[in-house]
Structure 1
Amino acid sequence: MATLLADTGNADIGLLRAVNGLAVGAPRWLDSAVSWIGEYGILLGLAALGLAAWLRARRRPDAPVAVAGLLWAPLAVALAELANLPISRIVDRPRPFVDHPELVVLVEGKEGTLSFVSDHSAMSMGIAVALLLVDRRIGLVAGALALLQGLCRMYLGVHYPTDVLGGYALATAVVLLLAPIAMAVLVPFCHSLTRTALAPLVVARRRGGESGRRRRGRGAPARAARSEEPARESDLAA
């Protein structure tokens, strides 16, 4: 597998050169911006989306289930990263700039590390897929950020396109295949939290509370009965 992935005559290196070649004539500020975005910015953006999804999930009728799905996101990413440890050792693929010194490398400290699969791509797509299962709108935004993450890793010259696709596939498989098992544990856990002092982490407090709604509900029939009394008296008079 390592020999196949190291093939320099396929479309893999061709696409990498096309994306990484954009950095050749780019201004320094753009290279710095892409470097920060590709290393930290997108992951921070995904964390912010996760926070927004949590605030929305707490207000849903199925809040414990939705919050359980959000808890699965970081757990799935951690499992995908653990799964990548033996995969990267088996494939044993060096960084693209090792075999292709003509590439522009915008990230330091990657020498001696392995390329397949892309950790950043796996983390980004894992969060995106998990969010998509809970909140479609936020999940689609997260998916766009995950795709941008892959382009940034190629622009920086630290991953082949197949490294990025491998990260996407690994994270998606972990999230979807293990979700039923994870939810079987996380949903009861979140339901149990609703009976503790940590309940606001799972279910948002509603204005007025249930007692207020009950009072309004009891008052409505009384008002309706009072409004019908004049009509009954007029019928008797007739």
Structure 2
Amino acid sequence: MAGLTTGGPNVDVSLLYRINSVARTAPDWLDRGVALLASYGLPLAMVLLVLWCWRGARRQDEAAAAESFAALVWAPLAAAIALLVNVPLRGFVARPRPFVAHEGLEVLGGVGVGPGAGFSFVSDHATLAMALGIGVFLANRRLGLVGIGLALAEGLCRVYLGVHYPTDVIGGFALGTAVVLVLAPLAMAGLTPLARALARTPRVGWLVRARGRVLARPVELAQRPAESDLAA
């Protein structure tokens, strides 16, 4: 397996050099910007996206709010599971970082990246970002597409920085997506009832549903015309 990943020129390596070659001709401020974006900017944007999605989910009716809240809880849990799955996977594949196996790369680095940063396949950053993006998609389709876009940008930045092959990123996307979607039915079956129960709790119910939004029950809606006739 390790031999497969350190072989001679192929599409994966060629694409790595093409993307990373931009860093050799780009100004220093752009390289620093991409490094900061990949290490801090995009992860922060993903966290803010999750919070924004949670803010909107709280304004829904109780059933929808509970489902959305459960999906948003599942997103980081699934991301953590995916990262745990990646630990033995990295050791099994044992793919060296591209700057170890190939010369002429512009290595810009980032958080947790260096000559002793471990194996390359699959990318933890890509795995985490895509798992969160897909998790948000389960709660809100529109915001989920934004999250998936952020994950794609994170993966591109990792290749630009010279710390991952394109297939490392693709593998991370696949791993994060698979963990979220395959385990989602089981996770949602357990988390949704908990979210509904939490929504009815006086002290912490606001986490699931905004207090100011109370929808009328069917019985109350049926009584309102009669009440208005009496008042008339």
Q: TM-score, normalised by structure 1?
A: 0.88
Unpaired segments of 5 or more residues in structure 1? 228-238
Tell me what 1:78 maps to: 80
User: What secondary structure does 1:106 align onto?
Assistant: coil
Tell me what 2:95 maps to: 93
Q: Hey, what's the Cα distance between the residues in 1 that align with 2:74 and 2:231?
A: 53
Q: Which has the larger radius of gyration?
A: 1
Q: How does 1:11-22 map to 2 (within 5 A)?
A: 11-22=11-22
Are residue 136 (structure 1) and residue 144 (structure 2) matched? no
Tell me what 1:199 maps to: 205
Letter in 2 for 1:173: A
Q: How does 1:1-238 map to 2 (within 5 A)?
A: 1-61=1-61, 62-107=64-109, 109-112=113-116, 113-196=118-201, 197-206=203-212, 220-224=225-229
Question: Superposition RMSD on alpha carbons, in Å?
Answer: 2.1
Letter in 1 for 2:152: L
Query: Aligned-pair distance for 1:220?
Result: 4.3
Distance 1:207 1:25, change over 3 A: same
Letter in 2 for 1:152: C
Distance 1:207 1:165, change over 3 A: closer
Query: Aligned-pair distance for 1:219?
Result: 5.9
Q: Say how many residue pairs are matched.
A: 225
Unpaired segments of 5 or more residues in structure 2? none
Distance 1:70 1:207, change over 3 A: closer
Query: Aligned-pair distance for 1:224?
Result: 4.0
8 Å CA contact 2:122, 2:168 repeated in 1: yes
| Residues 42-63 of structure 1 deviation map (CA, whole Å, 9 limit, x = unaligned) | 1110000000110111112211
Letter in 1 for 2:212: R
Q: Hey, what's the Cα distance between the residues in 1 that align with 2:101 and 2:223?
A: 77
8 Å CA contact 2:59, 2:213 repeated in 1: no
Distance 1:137 1:209, change over 3 A: closer
Letter in 1 for 2:74: W
Q: Hey, what's the Cα distance between the residues in 1 that align with 2:169 and 2:231?
A: 70
Q: Which moved more, 1:104-113 or 1:161-170?
A: 104-113
Q: Hey, what's the Cα distance between the residues in 2 that align with 1:133 and 1:20?
A: 33
| Residues 114-135 of structure 1 deviation map (CA, whole Å, 9 limit, x = unaligned) | 1000000001100011111110
